[in-house]
Chain A
Amino acid sequence: MTDFDHFVAAHVDELLRTAYLIVWDEGEAEDLVQECLLKVARRWPRIRRMDHPKAYARRILVNLALDGARGRAQRRGELEPGAPPSSRAVDPLGVLEVRAELLQALGELHQRQRAVLVLRYFNDLTEVQVAEVLGCSPGTVKSSAARGLARLREALQPVPLHQGSPET
């Protein structure tokens, strides 16, 4: 195996998960990671000498995802719907229900906003590191994350009983 093959083996899963959480579609995510790794392969002689090749690959990936966001948004109707909660187990505390609502709210965020949250809370990057990936200032990351969290919080607010369900 070449050192590039080792790089792919070590990081493809994380890149795929990151892409999946940003674009919210497995097929699109797979395409993006493949495209990202092709770009990395072409520049590998230079990238392999970097301190953090994975960070560079992630930056390519996120930019590819966000560059194509508009086209994907137009095709949103064709994408597979979000999967239901993975378990139908007894849920006395409503944990699964809240999780499902949170995932649904995440899926409805703007892609760039979701990317900020993914990088912050899935990849565990600092605001400075997220800013480097996205090519913006840490302040922009902070405000974008705050807006994203606010939208999620709003979506998770309990619906007043007197409003009833949409079906009635």
Chain B
Amino acid sequence: MSDLLEQDLREAFAERAARITPEASARLRAVDYHPRSRWPASRRAVSAVGALGLSGGAAAVGAAVLLGSSAAPAFAGWTATPTAPQPGQLAAIRQHGRAGSRGPVLTDTRGPYAASIYADGSTCLEGNGVRISTSGGGGTTSGIPAGTVQLNGLGESDPEGHALTMVDGPIGVGVTGVTITRSGESSVRATVKNGWYLAWWPGTARAVTARVASASGTSTQSFPRARQSAPPCPTGGHCTSGYGFGPGLRPRSRSGSRQPPIPTMTIAGPQNGQ
């Protein structure tokens, strides 16, 4: 009996393994597993993210990083999988989010941090004394092919070494889940809601692919490896470095400090889209 079952088991495994699509193997062979350093070693914590140019877009193009003195180092308590909102967490980010807006289309919560995205692609992240806002790039979010997502991204850091990377965008019809794979790090599960997805993580790990789940199965979209040159730091205040990629990317706009007690970190970002 055991011998028969073991034989059946070998055959069942072989049959199941044969179902893997050749594309999955081809994608894995095509990955560059030796990412070159994108920055001179002397530069401090700078993150970069990529985006796949699809039609239209609402890329995040401007950012102000507001780090209070109580900002937890390395985003303590962050989780790779979204968590249920804590009491008051959603109310807090709504309060500090964009004034006069109609409210976020999606809020992603990970431990003590909440990140919201608005219909124009602008975002706001808050928690543990960290507050970050980005302005949206405008444009349309329509025309996203079914089962795919638009890949926008933003990476920011400040002289104290607080760096984060955020990816977001509108989704096509039928998308039920998005998982971001990162260079050298474990995957991050995005929050998907109301036609949008959003994920972020501390540090500068590069987004490599987005695994997109839909009713028809799963597919992979790859972030491009190209990076843009950082423009000179803006004058005044601290210089924070950042990058943005995505359809409709425009010169970065800078949002002022809405919280005077918290020092504003202005961003040196990309001047143009890809």
Asked whether A26 and B21 contact (CB < 8 A) given A12-B29, A38-B33, the answer is yes
Contact A75 B9 (CB under 8 A): no
Q: Which of A13-21, A46-54, A130-138, A160-168 contacts B (4 or more CB under 8 A)?
A: A13-21
Contact A26 B20 (CB under 8 A): yes
Asked whether A26 and B17 contact (CB < 8 A) given A102-B9, A121-B6, the answer is no
Q: Encode A1-39 as 1/0 by CB contact (under 8 A) with B.
A: 000100011001100110011000111011101110111
Chain A residues whose CB sits within 8 angstroms of the CB of B15 once the complex forms:
86, 99, 103
Chain B residues whose CB sits within 8 angstroms of the CB of A78 once the complex forms:
176-177, 213
Contact B28 A20 (CB under 8 A): no
Chain B residues whose CB sits within 8 angstroms of the CB of A9 once the complex forms:
29
**A interface, size bucket:** 35 or more
Report how far A16 CA is from B29 CA in the complex, Å. Answer: 11
**B interface, size bucket:** 35 or more
Among B9, B19, B27, the most chain A Cβ lie within 10 Å of the Cβ of: B9
Please name the residue on chain B nearest to A13 by beta carbon.
B25
Contact B14 A71 (CB under 8 A): no
Contact A41 B33 (CB under 8 A): yes
Contact A86 B209 (CB under 8 A): no
Chain A residues whose CB sits within 8 angstroms of the CB of B176 once the complex forms:
78
Q: Separation in Å of the A15 CB from the closest CB of chain B?
A: 8
Chain B residues close to A by CB (< 8 Å): 1-2, 5-6, 8-21, 24-25, 27-29, 31, 33-34, 80-81, 176-177, 179, 181, 183-187, 189, 208-209, 211, 213, 217-218, 220
